[in-house]
């Protein structure tokens, strides 16, 4: 099983500032990585797939980078609606896809 | 607009079988471009992959759950279903159904349904 480790567990950032979230895989997943945003009581929302491709309708302030074992999600200028929990997911190891434990992005 | 909706009992007794159905609207479950999957999230915790199915009926399960999981598809009803046998309290979770791009990442999710395992 590929273990996905996200850091930090909680990130406190002020609106308008940049947020950088990290995701590390226990072995290479190539670029087969997605990022999701989840707000309380809601389903996850796809933000990024292929490590760096924004999903349909996702604002340009969200960007993803990385390959292999190290990945980053950057939110360039935080808006109030961006405060949520973010998960990474590898889909390289079929059929056992795994998620990170999540990073909670909170208002500073 | 594609929509997925989970349905089924919200309370299941220990040792019994959890059964959920996902109804797909606004698109065909028989599309060759997509797989259909189940993912769960225990209260206050992270996401766990359960398994997925293609419209042809081919299934792919998380090895840790494989002995207890069955996913099936009914193309005539545009639905797919999850059965999880011999449940325990550890199976208490919000269960999501989702559409997978090819067999890979979920792009559309249902709203989720909480299933509690308790006597």
Residues of B in contact with A99 (CB under 8 A): 46-49
Quick one: pLDDT band at residue B97, thresholds 50, 70, 90? Answer: very high
Q: What is the average pLDDT across A10-32?
A: 97
Nearest alpha-carbon partner for A108 in A6, A16, A22: A16
Residues of A in contact with B110 (CB under 8 A): 43
Q: Which of B63, B94, B106 to mutate to test the interface with A (most CBs of A within 10 A)?
A: B106
Q: Using the predicted structure, report yes or no on whether residue B37 has a pLDDT greater than 90.
A: yes
pLDDT, position B35: 96
b/e per residue, A21-44, with b = 16+ CB within 10 A? bbbbbeeebebbbbbbbbeeeebb
Q: Using the predicted structure, report yes or no on whether residue A95 has a pLDDT greater than 90.
A: no
Nearest-Cα distance to chain A for B71, in Å, is 14
List, in sequence order, every beta strand (DSSP E) within A16-69: 19-25, 33-38, 45-49, 53-54, 62-67
Nearest-Cα distance to chain B for A34, in Å, is 7
Q: How far apart are CA B19 and CA B13, in angstroms?
A: 12
Q: Which of A9, A39, A96 to mutate to test the interface with B (most CBs of B within 10 A)?
A: A96
- Interface contact flag, B48 A101, Cβ < 8 Å: no
Residues of A in contact with B114 (CB under 8 A): none
Residues of B in contact with A98 (CB under 8 A): 49
Percentage of residues in chain A with pLDDT exceeding 70?
100
Give me the residue from A42, A45, A99 closest to B47, CB to CB: A99
Question: CA-nearest residue of chain B to A6?
Answer: B46
- Interface contact flag, B49 A43, Cβ < 8 Å: no
Nearest alpha-carbon partner for A85 in A30, A43, A27, A54: A43
Q: Using the predicted structure, report yes or no on whether residue B102 has a pLDDT greater than 90.
A: no
How confident is the model over A23-39, as pLDDT tens digits?
A: 999 999 999 999 999 99
Quick one: pLDDT band at residue A94, thresholds 50, 70, 90? Answer: confident
Nearest-Cα distance to chain A for B76, in Å, is 26
Give me the residue from B51, B63, B105 closest to A89, CB to CB: B105
């Amino acid at each position: 099983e590929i273990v996905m480790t996200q850091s930090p567990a909680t990130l406190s950032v002020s609106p308008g500032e940049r947020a950088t979230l990290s995701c590390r895989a226990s072995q290479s997943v190539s670029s087969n990585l997605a990022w999701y945003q989840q707000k309380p009581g809601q389903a996850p929302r796809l933000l990024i797939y292929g490590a760096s491709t924004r999903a349909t309708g996702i604002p340009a302030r969200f960007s993803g980078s990385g390959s292999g074992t190290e990945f980053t999600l950057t939110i360039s200028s935080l808006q109030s609606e961006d405060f949520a929990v973010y998960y990474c997911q590898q889909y390289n190891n079929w059929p056992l896809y795994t998620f990170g434990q999540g990073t909670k992005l909170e208002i500073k | 607009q594609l929509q997925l909706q989970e349905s089924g009992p919200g309370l299941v007794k220990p040792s019994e079988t959890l059964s959920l159905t996902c109804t797909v609207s606004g698109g065909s479950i028989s599309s060759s471009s997509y797989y259909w999957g189940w993912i769960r999230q225990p209260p206050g915790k992270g996401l766990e992959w359960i398994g997925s199915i293609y419209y042809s009926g081919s299934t792919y399960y998380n090895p840790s759950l494989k002995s207890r999981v069955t996913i099936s598809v009914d193309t005539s009803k545009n639905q797919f279903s999850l059965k999880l046998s011999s449940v325990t309290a550890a199976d208490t979770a919000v269960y999501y159904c989702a559409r997978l791009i090819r067999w890979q990442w979920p792009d559309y999710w249902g709203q989720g349904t909480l299933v509690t395992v308790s006597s």
